Chain A
Amino acid sequence: MAEPILEVSGLVKHYPLTRGIVFKKRIGAVKAVDGVDFTLGRGETLGIVGESGCGKSTVARLLCSLEQPTAGSIRFKGEEITKLSGRALKAVRRNIQMVFQDPYTSLNPRMTVGDIIGEPYEIHPEAAPKGDRRRKVQELLDVVGLNPEYINRYPHQFSGGQRQRIGIARGLALNPEIIVADEPVSALDVSIQAQVVNLLARLQKEFELSYVFIAHDLSIVRHISDRVGVMYLGRIVEIGTDAQIYDHPTHPYTQALLSAVPVPDPEARAHRERIILSGDVPSPTNVPSGCRFRTRCWKARERCAVEVPALAVPEEFRSTAGPAAHDSACHFAEEKRVVPPEEVA
């Protein structure tokens, strides 16, 4: 792996649940993120997949210092950023920018596109001298494939895909090193998704960006990511290169998730094994003891209720150098291929 640009360890975010108005009493916590570790290499794309409520968006907000973690550390180029404040925090934020999911609500409808993309310069005036900003914004519009003459238009005059390009241009304005993209294409139509994914891939090369790409669409994540982490109920349950995760998953949740994705090939209908999980994801206020996936897992035994499985290479694969030897938080990890091998044309 390339030199690490971002190192996350033991990241925790709990939101307190309180009762009472004047004397607020703490009665519990929503454990949105509950111990997440990963490393992002320079120029790399780390995909994070998981279902709603697994904490992937909270991770994104923590990475961008939009929220303070309850515990844990985030190191940007070796420097701890969770304790920063004031000028030092501002400098770090400039380097880690975010692209949001919903291009309809994440752009202020009363601001022109020029003001939206140029707003980061108001906060970080050192990034562009005042007289130069308009030209910079026009350059950015051009970079993301929009006509620079649209600078005075308002967001409602653009389609969903174009708005997402505006959101990306805003993310690029400060020349960040890392972009955290939270479901950047899921609100878009199929024919437009590919355009935006291509744009992100091109920008990565052009500006040597590192991406944290959060999504629930597994095929798009695979396309764009070098490594993939699978989250369940506030934790990463399995992480590895895209081939390790998709072709040699060892965690039962990853296997179920992959097997549930509809395959766009009717011929695959007959010889596909589907793992249908029973029940719903437990509430993050009341996380199961031991392994948090055990309530829906077909392999769960007594040990799973008592002992929290660590995210590490499972013992049985440690001696092998094969693709199954990657981090997986399961006591009974087993390799199982669930996605039929695709014909390589």
Chain B
Amino acid sequence: MLLEVRDLHVEFRTRDGIAKAVNGVSYGVDAGETLAVLGESGSGKSVTAQAVMGILDMPPGRITGGEILFRDQDLLTLKEEDRRKVRGAGMAMIFQDALSSLNPVLSVGDQLGEMFVVHRGMSKKDARARAVELMDRVRIPGAAQRVRDYPHQFSGGMRQRIMIAMALALEPALIIADEPTTALDVTVQAQVMDLLAELQREYAMALILITHDLGVVADVADRIAVMYAGRIVESAPVHDIYKAPAHPYTRGLLDSIPRLDHKGRELYAIKGLPPNLMDIPPGCAFHPRCPMARDVCRTDPPPLYEVSEARASACHFWQECLHG
């Protein structure tokens, strides 16, 4: 395993109390593999990624338990100085909103070149040349001229390409993409996802794709981890999960996609609301919204049951869910 997250716990101290954002998340990703982390807002998918990258705001955030192993080294025990060396060269992150993630007062060439100056000790001139190369690599037309432009002079799709170029700069082994195409239009989203998939193949990188879009996941992922209330509720190879989900939450998400043969009928909707992270329901966090919930669900938190060698589900009644 290139990256292994083990039993991670993260909480946020707020004025109103402690919000338990991540409650024992474990996942791993191999070199060259694409893991999709699927979840709605507040499920803890981004917080987990921020903890892995070491960019969690602490305080108010606090990692209260767990390990993050990258190439068998626990990142949580590293000093900030050593951590910084892993960031960029070992792993890099692509954010949803490229406009607010880029510095508006520096040209994109300066921002891309900075990576080489800081991490590789290159001269400014060499770094600029590498920046142009990178922009070419992510297919920005007229890279040599546009290297002097500022972020606001690029369209949304082009800005996201610059983010990708920046993440690729030091050829990291792992890229974490947090909703990389959510802010983009569908035709541009297709361009950017294609580019990302192609570059991933070329550099044999591992990719963790954080998203809420079941369509994007089906298009690119090898494996899926579904998160709910700060836990992984189901993890499985992508083909298995779409064929037969082993957790009622996953099933609910899949069923709520509008389908042709349901036209004119009511869409399936998961009832209720996602839980408040300051007051997560006892037992299984999903039980108040679950159509299959029984007494045991209200009291005993389900462990991650092994469904098959590559699959796991955190539902007491996963067999029932899997078989209909």
Interface set of A (CB-CB < 8 Å, partner B): 51-52, 159, 161-162, 189-195, 197-198, 201-202, 216, 218-220, 222-223, 242, 256-257, 259-269, 274, 276-277, 280-281, 342-345
Contact = CB atoms under 8 A, between A and B. Distances in A.
A342 B186 contact: no
B203 interface: no
A219 B258 contact: yes
B253 A345 contact: no
Given A52-B185, A161-B273, A274 B190 contact: yes
Given A280-B157, A344-B260, A260 B218 contact: no
8 contacts: A162-B273, A190-B253, A194-B268, A198-B266, A219-B257, A223-B263, A277-B190, A345-B261
A266 B263 contact: no
A190 B40 contact: yes
A277 B40 contact: no
B215 A261 contact: yes
Given A194-B256, A220-B258, A264 B215 contact: yes
Given A266-B239, A268-B218, A342-B259, 14 more contacts: A52-B185, A190-B212, A191-B252, A191-B269, A195-B271, A198-B269, A216-B186, A223-B262, A257-B186, A260-B186, A260-B189, A262-B190, A262-B219, A264-B217
B18 interface: no
B308 interface: no
Given A194-B269, A198-B266, A264-B218, A344 B261 contact: yes
Contact of A263 (B41, B187, B191, B218): B218
Contact of B41 (A189, A195, A223): A189
A276 B193 CA distance: 11
Contacts of B187: 51, 256-257, 260, 276-277
B22 interface: no
A239 B258 CA distance: 21
Given A193-B256, A276-B191, A344-B260, A262 B212 contact: no
A268 B215 CA distance: 11
Nearest to B271: A195
Contacts of B261: 342-345
Nearest to B38: A190
Given A191-B256, A201-B266, A264-B214, A269 B186 contact: no
Contacts of A277: 187, 190-191
Contacts of B269: 191, 194-195, 198
Contacts of B41: 189
Contacts of A220: 258
B122 interface: no
A194 B267 CA distance: 6
Given A219-B257, A344-B260, A266 B270 contact: no
A227 to B, nearest CB: 13
B306 interface: no
Contact of A194 (B194, B218, B219, B270): B270
Contacts of B253: 190-191
A264 B259 CA distance: 10
Task: Report which residue of B187, B213, B258 has the largest number of chain A beta carbons within 10 angstroms of its beta carbon.
Answer: B187
B155 interface: yes
Contacts of A274: 190, 194
A198 B218 contact: no
Contacts of B193: 262
A262 B216 contact: yes
A267 B253 CA distance: 18
Interface string B177-210: 0000000011111110110000000000000000
Contacts of B268: 194
B40 A191 contact: yes
A266 B121 CA distance: 44
B217 to A, nearest CB: 8
Interface in B236-263: 238-239, 242, 252-254, 256-263
B218 A269 contact: yes
B254 to A, nearest CB: 7
A191 B270 contact: yes
Contacts of B66: none
A50 B322 CA distance: 38
Nearest to A259: B190
A280 B258 contact: no
A267 B241 CA distance: 11
Given A190-B253, A191-B270, A222 B263 contact: yes
A338 to B, nearest CB: 12
Contacts of A202: 266
A311 B57 CA distance: 53
B161 to A, nearest CB: 11
B218 A223 contact: no
Contact of A280 (B158, B189, B214): B158
B54 interface: no
B28 interface: no
Contacts of B259: 342
B274 interface: yes
Contact of B155 (A190, A198, A267, A280): A280
A194 B254 CA distance: 11
